[in-house]
Amino acid sequence: MKTKVIAFLNQKGGVGKTTSTINIGAGLAKLQKKVLLVDFDPQASLSCSLGIESPTYSIYHLVKNQVLLEEVVIKKDKLSIIPASIELSSLEQEYRTAAEKEYLLKKIIKSIKGYDYIFIDCPPSLGLLAINALTAAHEVYIPVQTEFLALQGLGQLMDTLSLITSHTNPHLQVGGIIGTRFNRRKINKEVVAYLKSNFKGKAFKTVIRENVALTEAPSFGKDIYSHNPESNGAKDYYALCKEVIARTVNK
């Protein structure tokens, strides 16, 4: 299987983007896949959620060619992580007039070998960092909170993806839409039905239920399986991981 590079993106915050990146990654690692998580968000939520704070080097230093890959990658359990740092927020200004500024991350990703999956956690915006992630990725996964207002930003997001496929990455595909924070209210069910109807073959069958354990896990620096393997959050993400494998293994 060739390395599958997947960006996790939604310009709305609080939809479970980082939670999904971490727990799909950790679940795939439990299923004996080699997974690298790349934190490409200056807020470094993924890094902090896994107990990595103030790393010596981050993805910023890698982009700037200041360090080697092996100096940046951090191993945690079965996962490999390239952390982020606040310096990442300066990249947009630093490369504002640079040629091929959309390809900074792609050059790094292309040099990385030995993984089944590389997951990129994007910032909750559609600026240069997100464009870099989408340019480097084969697919994008879009976590969507199962509330009506969460659907409003999907159109803008799809417009951005169209621009990417027109300009920097013609092969980018929407690999999956993940329904999150589901709690069986009528509106939740209606939103899931909408996603499955309007994004046929894209919306995953598994939805992620609202779960206290998922909000607790980052405060312990753990993924959901390490924090509470019997929780609904662990069960849902593990089921979703099996769907991810089924979708990607033959591509």
pLDDT at 110: 95
Give the domains, in start order, of the chain with CATH numbers.
4-248 (3.40.50.300)
Determine if the pTM surpasses 0.75.
yes
What token pair was written down for 100?
């091929």
Please work out, in degrees rounded to the nearest 5, the angle formed at the alpha carbon of residue 37 by the alpha carbons of 31 and 168: 120
At residue 80, the 3 state secondary structure works out as: strand
Closest among 66, 53, 59, 67 to 89, alpha carbons compared: 59
What gap in Å lies between CA 75 and CA 92, rounded to an integer? Answer: 28
Helix, strand, or coil (residue 150):
helix
What's the confidence (pLDDT) of residue 92?
87
pLDDT, one tens digit for every residue, the chain (251 residues):
799 999 999 988 888 999 999 999 999 999 999 999 999 999 999 999 999 999 999 999 999 999 999 999 999 989 999 999 999 999 989 998 898 999 999 999 999 999 999 999 999 888 999 999 999 999 999 999 998 887 887 888 888 899 999 999 999 999 999 999 998 788 899 999 999 998 888 999 999 999 999 999 999 999 999 999 999 999 999 999 999 999 987 66
C-alpha count within 13 angstroms, C-beta hemisphere, residue 226: 20
